[in-house]
Amino acid sequence: MARVSSSPPDPGATPFRVAPDRSTIRLLLVSVRPEQWTKNLLVLAGVVFGGRLREPRAVAIAVAAFAIFCALSGAIYLFNDVADREADQSHPLKRERPIASGRLSATTALLVGLLLGVAGVQAAFMIGTRLGLIAGTYLTLLLIYSAALKHVVIVDVLVIAAGFVLRAIAGAVAVSVPIGNWLLVCTTLLALFLALSKRRHELTLLAEGATDHRRILDEYTPYLLDQMIGVVTSSTLIAYTVYATSPDTAARLGTAKLGLTIPFVLYGIFRYLYLVHQKRGGGNPSAMLLTDRPLLGCVALWAASVIVLLYSPLGK
């Protein structure tokens, strides 16, 4: 009877990974980051500020547009994680992601990402040509960002802000309502605020190893980012104040009382700055929104007050 010989493992070989107890579908779900889909709620701004929240068909179309951008953002996360899988392995948090840890193959992620991207753009064209073009532009821009633009200083955060603006425009286009210039300005500035705060978090969290994870961080310093955040914070508050108290806004929205929501915006931004500087947060805005109760409560109260002012006699 032949004996089965055993030899010691080759220390240079890639270690065999035990099959994870979570299925591939579960790993894919984690990789498309559903907790980040709160960013796509911006798509619903069109139906709310366009005065069409009482129309079931408009609401259904807006929800469909929201789902489309969830699919597109999921595709982008998959492509980005594949492109960054080696760099993510040096990050204390991102190295646990399914693709970076090796639990989910890059091939599977790319195939699913392609499927989500194509399906999302096709669904957008089914709603309307303009929405399809915006969805295609959003997907293309963010893919170019993942491949190249995220390595260009300042342009990287501007592209992130552009992604938020495209979401807002898509929501307005989907339900055929105009979107004010001031609202787009506020969206751009708020997106820049979040993007710059995220860069600051990465820089302070990783310290000397920051450039090993993301080489663009070598172009930033905490002081420079704090200066940029200060400018954007002031600009955001001024822009929202002008928008909320503008006679044009009152005429278009049917209420002159939107200025009552300014305290919520003030508290929300100041609370976020507190979390960034005192609690070393800012790396994941969606997670902060869902886990920090004061911030979540502030956003909820702002949204509720906007709806009450726009859709009830109290706003007249």
Q: Which of 59-63, 247-251, 277-281 is predicted most confidently? A: 59-63
CA distance 47 to 230: 31
Domain boundaries along the sequence of the chain: 24-178, 180-316
CA distance 36 to 197: 16
Residue whose C-alpha is closest to residue 309's, from 259, 264, 266, 265: 259
What DSSP line would sit under 244-306, residue for residue?
HH-HHHHHHHT-S-GGGGHHHHHHHHHHHHHHHHHS---S-HHHHHHH-HHHHHHHHHHHHHH
Looking at residue 226, its pLDDT comes to 92
Looking at residue 222, its pLDDT comes to 86
Question: In whole angstroms, how far apart are CA 123 and each of 63, 170, 174, 250?
Answer: 12, 13, 12, 35
**For 228-238, what is the mean pLDDT?**
94
Residue whose C-alpha is closest to residue 173's, from 252, 61, 71, 250: 61
Supply the CATH classification number for the domain 24-178.
1.10.357.140
Q: How many residues does the chain have?
A: 316
CA distance 133 to 303: 29
Q: What would the pLDDT profile of 41-73 be if each residue is shown by its tens digit?
A: 999 999 999 889 999 999 999 999 999 999 999
Residue 209 — very low, low, confident or very high, per pLDDT cuts 50/70/90? low
CA distance 222 to 144: 26
pLDDT higher than 70, residue 174: yes
* Four-residue CA torsion sign, 53, 58, 60, 66: negative
**The pair of three-digit structure tokens given for residue 274, joined into one six-digit string:** 């507190």
Rg of the chain over all Cα atoms, to the nearest angstrom: 22
DSSP-H helix ranges across the chain? 24-31, 45-49, 56-83, 85-88, 98-101, 106-127, 129-147, 155-174, 181-206, 210-213, 222-245, 247-253, 262-278, 285-291, 293-311
CB atoms within 10 A of CB 107: 9
Q: What would the pLDDT profile of 86-115 be if each residue is shown by its tens digit?
A: 877 777 777 878 888 888 888 888 999 999
CB atoms within 10 A of CB 240: 23
**The pair of three-digit structure tokens given for residue 115, joined into one six-digit string:** 């499927």
Residue whose C-alpha is closest to residue 312's, from 50, 44, 54: 54
Residue whose C-alpha is closest to residue 191's, from 124, 269, 292: 269
Sequence-separated (6 or more) residues with CB below 8 Å from residue 29:
none
**The pair of three-digit structure tokens given for residue 294, joined into one six-digit string:** 């004061």
* Four-residue CA torsion sign, 186, 188, 194, 196: negative
30 CB-contact burial (10 Å; exposed 0-12 / middle 13-18 / buried 19+)? middle
Q: Which of 25-39, 150-164, 200-214 is predicted most confidently? A: 150-164
Residue 83 — very low, low, confident or very high, per pLDDT cuts 50/70/90? confident
% the chain with pLDDT above 70: 90
Residue 16 — very low, low, confident or very high, per pLDDT cuts 50/70/90? very low
